[in-house]
């Protein structure tokens, strides 16, 4: 009678899943951690991608916020440092900045960009540099949006220039970043 297609698919999936779990276990990565603790929603068998998420603004920010994660859905974003005078930010003055996890932000839209190992490494290198030396934040020319654009550009992904997070996520959704 043969093996029905559905059963064969399940057998192959179990074998691949078992091998992946063994590899993850050996590498010290928890299997649920591999898929952002949500294995029913996130599946990335290669681990090669950049995740860009547009978030609702906080503390009076009407423009929103955008962050990026390399091989993770946990994004990191470029922000004014804690304790910076908000008037200085709003008037476009250069202020101290920080790269920080976007945990606690309310996600509105997410785009996943499939990448190569080389692109991942180049983008992660820039993120690591920004964590060590974030430079100065400026709402009008060096903000969360320009940081994500620069990180993508490090991986060879060019997007139309904008300083607004919502426009960048739409450019990514519409395939205007190449």
Question: Pick the residue with more confidence: 151 or 33?
Answer: 151
Band of residue 12 on the pLDDT scale cut at 50, 70, 90:
very low
CA nearest to 75, candidates 101, 49, 94, 114: 101
* Residue at 85 is within a domain: yes
- 7 three-class SS: helix
Position with higher pLDDT, 43 vs 60: 60
Q: Which two tokens stand for residue 132?
A: 């060590």
SS (H, E, C) 71-135: CCCCCEEEEECCCCCHHHHHCCCCEEEEEEECCCCCEEEEEEEECCHHHHHHHHHHHHHHHHCCC
Instruction: Tell me whether residue 40 is in a domain.
Output: no
Residue 19 is predicted with a pLDDT of 46
Residue 124 CA to its chain's centroid (Å): 10
Same domain, 29 and 54: no
**What's the pLDDT score for residue 38?**
56
Task: Mark whether 72 and 131 lie in a shared domain.
Answer: yes
Domain extent, residue 73, equals 49-173
> Between 15 and 140, where is the model more confident?
140
| pLDDT > 50? residue 14 | no
Q: Are residues 9 and 73 in the same domain?
A: no
The answer to whether residue 35 scores a pLDDT higher than 60 is no
Q: What is the pLDDT of residue 140?
A: 95
Domains: count for the chain: 2
32 pLDDT exceeds 70? Answer: no
pLDDT exceeds 80 at position 25: no
- pLDDT tens readout for residues 119-160: 999 999 999 999 999 999 999 999 999 999 999 999 999 999
Residue 122 lies in a domain: yes
**Do 75 and 136 share a domain, yes or no?**
yes
Q: Is residue 43 part of a domain?
A: no
pLDDT above 90 coverage of the chain, percent: 68
For residue 57, the model assigns a pLDDT of 86
Q: Are residues 75 and 159 in the same domain?
A: yes
Check: CB of residue 155 under 8 Å from CB of residue 120.
yes
Instruction: Compute the average pLDDT of residues 157-164.
Output: 94
């Amino acid at each position: 009678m043969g093996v029905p297609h559905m059963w064969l698919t399940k057998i192959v999936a179990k074998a691949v899943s078992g091998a992946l779990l063994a590899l993850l276990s050996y590498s010290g990565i928890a299997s649920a951690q591999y898929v952002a603790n949500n294995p029913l929603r996130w599946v990335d068998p290669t681990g090669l991608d950049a995740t860009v998420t547009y978030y609702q603004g906080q503390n009076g920010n009407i423009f929103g916020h955008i962050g990026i994660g390399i091989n993770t859905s946990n994004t990191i974003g470029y922000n004014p440092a804690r304790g910076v005078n908000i008037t200085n930010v709003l008037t476009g003055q250069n202020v101290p900045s920080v790269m920080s996890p976007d945990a606690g932000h309310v996600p509105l839209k997410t785009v996943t960009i499939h990448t190569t190992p080389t692109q991942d490494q180049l983008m992660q290198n820039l993120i690591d540099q920004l964590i060590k030396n974030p430079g100065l934040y400026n709402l009008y020319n060096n903000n969360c949006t320009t940081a994500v654009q620069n990180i993508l550009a490090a991986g060879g992904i060019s997007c139309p220039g904008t300083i607004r997070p919502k426009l960048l996520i739409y450019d990514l959704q519409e395939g205007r970043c190449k």
